[in-house]
Structures are given as structure tokens and as C-alpha cells.
Structure 1
């Protein structure tokens, strides 16, 4: 038998912790940094508008809790996506340009986080939120700053911090690892 038939190729992300924890931690840290930025510009967004999206009264730390939960869920989605073969293979490929070939997997995951933050901003507050608010008929979150520059910057910051934390928590391998097949 050849060595190829005795081994299987994994996606190259190995960690004793795993991508779900990396995604959850990265999402939580990213959400906290994003929330702090928004809090500096307009504390009412976190304390009143975010609970208002769900028809809740702005009491206590409800807005922060929801914002943190959003970050964790988005971090898990990022972790899942970035560890799938099509995306991870793209992140691991050896580009022909000299400047890109000098970047490591960590920097590429941080860049993927930045792009993910941009995608989240384009999809959730710009497309999904207006439809959601119309469907539930709430006026409490009508002043939510969906297209504000602070929202864009915050989502980009969220994605970047998510990528950094994910790369630090999850042991990313520079290439696909080969492990013996069991059985």
C-alpha cells in the first residue's frame, strides 16, 4: 500500500481547544471591543436600541448581554467557515506574489476576520435588520444606526479582533497535516 492510502488529510487546524472555542472566544472579545466603541459614540445604542430590536425594555445590562451573544454566535459561524476546506485551502495557498507569499496563516486569518466583519455589516444591519424591524413592528429600535460610519468601523473592528483572537486561541498549522487512518 502506498503512504497516500494509509493517511488522510485533515484541514490543517489542530488544537486541543478546537475551533468552536476559538470562535466563541474571538466573537466575545470582538463584541466587547465593538460594544465599547459604540458605547463611546452613543451609549443608547447598546443600552436601548439593541434590546429594542427584540421588543425588550432597556433594563440593566440586557443590551450588553444580547450584543455579546450576537458576537459569540457570529464567532462560531466564522470559526466554522474558516476551518472548512475551501476557505482554509485558500488561506493556506502559496500565492505567486512575493509580498503575499511572505504572510503567514495567522495574518491571513486576521484578514479573513476583517472581510467577515465587512460581510456581517453588509448583511445584518443593512439588509436583515430593516426587514426584521418591519416584521415585528417595533419602533423602539427605529433609531438604530444601521448605515452610520460607526457601525461600519465597529463591524470591521469586530471582525479583525475576532480573527486575531481566533488565530491565537486555535493552533493553526501552516499546511495540511497528515494523520494515520484508524482501523
Structure 2
């Protein structure tokens, strides 16, 4: 059985966009789609609640902050997923046939879903609740522990992982790449 460490030696990142652009593009696209769903369900979350978190008046700033959050979290996903330990875990040979049959792209997409779950648990559930308590924000419409928020973040992670796996190719030759914008030999 191949360990996660052995697998890192066999795989790496290649392609001309790499993890930074892949994470940024995935973060922006997934946030735009998630924001669109929020807009359909409860537009005041975008126009009022998100600006209120930063002490701003209601308006279009909510869209800007929502997309900025997605961009930064997408880049964070790219950084995290490209670390040898995580990459080795994702690409490791496993004894479960259905999981073994999945290629690196599908595994990265699944990692995006897990990342979306972690983001939901850390930001809306924990950090947002603490922020509301500390700042004394009253009667907020932000769904901190709502089922819709969980589903939205899982979908956000799914799109993030899928877009990231389209931009970043995981292949054996990529381990010979010297830098994030160099092509493998």
C-alpha cells in the first residue's frame, strides 16, 4: 500500500494556471453563484447584513465583500490543497475500490466540499456568532446556523473544488516544476 508521503513523490501540480489562479477563480465563481442563491432566498443578507458586519450602510458593498471573501477563501483553499501533506492524502492509493477509482480531479472536488463544511463551521457558525455577541448587533438576518447556510456552503465548496480541479492539473510531471508559474519539463 502506498502512503500519503509516497504519493507526494508521484504527484504534483502542473498546468499553466496553478493553484493561485485556480483558487482565486474557483473562489470568485463559487461566491458569485452562492451570492446569487442568497439573493434569491433573502437579498437583505447581501445588501444589509454583510455591510453591517463592517459597520457600513446597506448597499452594493455587500456584494463586494461577499466576492472578496470568496476570493480570499478560494486562494486559501488552493494554498491548503497544494501542501504536500494534503496533496499526498488526496492522491494516496486507498483500498476502497470506489474511492480508488476516482481521479485527482474528483478527489479535489470532494476536498472542496469538506472545505466548504469547515468554512461554514468556522465562519458563520462560530466567528459570526462571536462577532454578533461582541459588537452587540441586534436582530441580524444572517443565518448563522440555518440549514440553508450549510447547504449553500457545501455547494460553494463543490463549485470551488470543481473549478480548482479544472484550472490545476495534478500529474506526475508537475513535481519537476520549479515555481508556481513555470511549466514542468
Q: What is the TM-score with the length of structure 2 in the denominator?
A: 0.85
Please identify which structure carries the higher helix content. Answer: 2
Secondary structure in 2 aligned to 1:172? strand
Corresponding residue for residue 5 of structure 2: none
Runs (5+) with no aligned partner, structure 1: 1-8
Corresponding residue for residue 166 of structure 1: 164
Distance 2:118 2:100 in 1: 25
Between Structure 1 and Structure 2, how many residues are aligned?
170
Distance 1:143 1:180 in 2: 47
1:97/1:113 CA distance change after superposition, 3 Å: same
Deviation at 1:100, TM superposition (A): 1.2
Deviation at 1:134, TM superposition (A): 2.7
> Aligned-pair RMSD on alpha carbons?
1.9
Deviation at 1:178, TM superposition (A): 4.7
1:11/1:138 CA distance change after superposition, 3 Å: farther
Deviation at 1:148, TM superposition (A): 1.2
Where do residues 1-183 of structure 1 align in structure 2 (5 Å cutoff)?
9=9, 12-59=12-59, 61-139=60-138, 142-173=140-171, 175=172, 177-179=174-176
Distance 1:58 1:130 in 2: 20
Deviation at 1:177, TM superposition (A): 4.5
Give 1 or 2 for the bigger CA radius of gyration. 1
Distance 2:56 2:42 in 1: 19
1:41/1:176 CA distance change after superposition, 3 Å: same
Aligned 8 A contact 1:26 1:75 in 2? yes
Runs (5+) with no aligned partner, structure 2: 1-8, 179-185
Distance 1:64 1:178 in 2: 38
Aligned 8 A contact 1:55 1:138 in 2? no
